[in-house]
């Protein structure tokens, strides 16, 4: 049985098990953004801070933030909670971890909600991308929250979304008890592969929804990549906000409804 004693886990509700997995530099609060729709409507919600994030303990070493490590943590949470199979809903890093679970531990996965995937196997290890992640890591390590925000370069965010993105960055980053561990994760996670080829997603055999955002507000999670995930996973639905609207992944109540609908499919 895998161990999850180093992780901060929160639980709510009863019913169909749903595990929420957040993205890099976020915490468990940033999958459904505080929405309580799931636990109020027949779901047992299990959410946790990834290793080194939020109130969870740092990894044993600065390189121990690979997707293999993150999958082991997820399985540890399932074991500790006595859950054999669950619907997994993950955002970005959490989405990639959930996909890895569906590929490598399919007996533990009842359904998938893949929210704003960012991992493109063909572009993995791009020097420009890694340089940006390293700059964010250095900004956080040496300058704290403000150092990270400066490295993020809010001036590059479209003006319509700049204030919102800046506010969310500050809100997320102040929640970490071990910011140096998050800085480690910012270097290690982007260098890790959750799977090798997009064609591998054809092996996923559970009900799946892919939630993607339009590029104007969220270029780091390209709509085209979300579409490729949805096309590669058999029977997957692609869910995107209407043009000109706030990104769907930022709307916790709407994301919760997508998860609930997927969970209903998985239970039937």
Cα–Cα distance, 97 to 216 (Å, whole number): 26
pLDDT at 246 (0 to 100): 86
- What pTM, to 2 d.p., does this model score? 0.96
Q: What is the pLDDT confidence band of residue 266, given thresholds at 50, 70 and 90?
A: very high
pLDDT in tens, 124-176: 999 999 999 999 999 999 999 999 999 999 988 888 889 999 999 999 999 99
Across the range 34-62, mean pLDDT stands at 97
Query: Is residue 1 predicted with pLDDT exceeding 70?
Result: no
- DSSP of 98-110, one letter per residue? HHHHHHH-GGGEE
pLDDT at 242 (0 to 100): 87
Cα–Cα distance, 59 to 27 (Å, whole number): 15
User: What order of strands is seen across the sheet that includes strand 208-212?
Assistant: 9-12, 43-48, 16-21, 86-91, 109-115, 208-212, 237-240
Q: What is the mean pLDDT of the chain?
A: 95
pLDDT at 22 (0 to 100): 98
- Determine what percent of the chain is predicted with pLDDT higher than 90: 89
Place of tokens 């169909």: 16
pLDDT at 2 (0 to 100): 59
pLDDT in tens, 12-26: 999 999 999 999 999
CA angle 113/109/117 to nearest 5° reads 30
CA atoms within 13 A on the CB side of 44: 12
Q: Which residues pair with 90 in a beta bridge?
A: 21, 114
């Amino acid at each position: 049985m895998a161990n999850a004693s180093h992780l901060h886990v929160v639980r709510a509700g009863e019913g169909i098990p749903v595990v929420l997995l957040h993205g890099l530099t976020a915490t468990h609060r940033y999958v459904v953004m505080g929405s309580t729709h799931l636990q109020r409507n027949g779901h047992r919600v299990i959410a946790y801070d990834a290793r080194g994030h939020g109130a969870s303990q740092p990894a044993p070493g600065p390189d121990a933030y690979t997707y293999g490590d993150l999958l082991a943590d997820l399985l540890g949470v399932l074991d500790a909670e006595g859950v054999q199979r669950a619907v997994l809903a993950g955002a970005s890093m959490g989405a990639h971890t959930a996909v890895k679970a569906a590929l490598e531990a399919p007996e533990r996965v009842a359904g998938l909600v893949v929210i704003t995937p960012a991992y493109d196997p063909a572009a993995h290890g791009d020097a420009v991308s890694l340089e940006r992640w390293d700059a964010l890591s250095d900004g956080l390590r040496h300058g704290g929250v403000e150092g990270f925000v400066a490295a993020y370069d809010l001036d590059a965010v479209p003006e319509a979304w700049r204030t919102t993105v800046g506010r969310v960055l500050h809100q997320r980053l102040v929640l970490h008890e071990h910011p140096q561990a998050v800085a480690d994760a910012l270097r290690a996670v982007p260098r890790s592969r959750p799977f090798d080829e997009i064609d591998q997603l054809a092996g996923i055999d559970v009900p799946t929804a892919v939630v993607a955002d339009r590029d104007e507000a969220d270029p780091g999670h390209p709509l085209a990549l979300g579409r490729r995930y949805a096309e590669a996973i058999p029977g997957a639905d692609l869910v995107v906000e209407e043009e000109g609207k706030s990104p769907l992944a930022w709307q916790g109540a709407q994301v919760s409804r997508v998860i609930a609908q997927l969970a209903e499919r998985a239970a039937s």
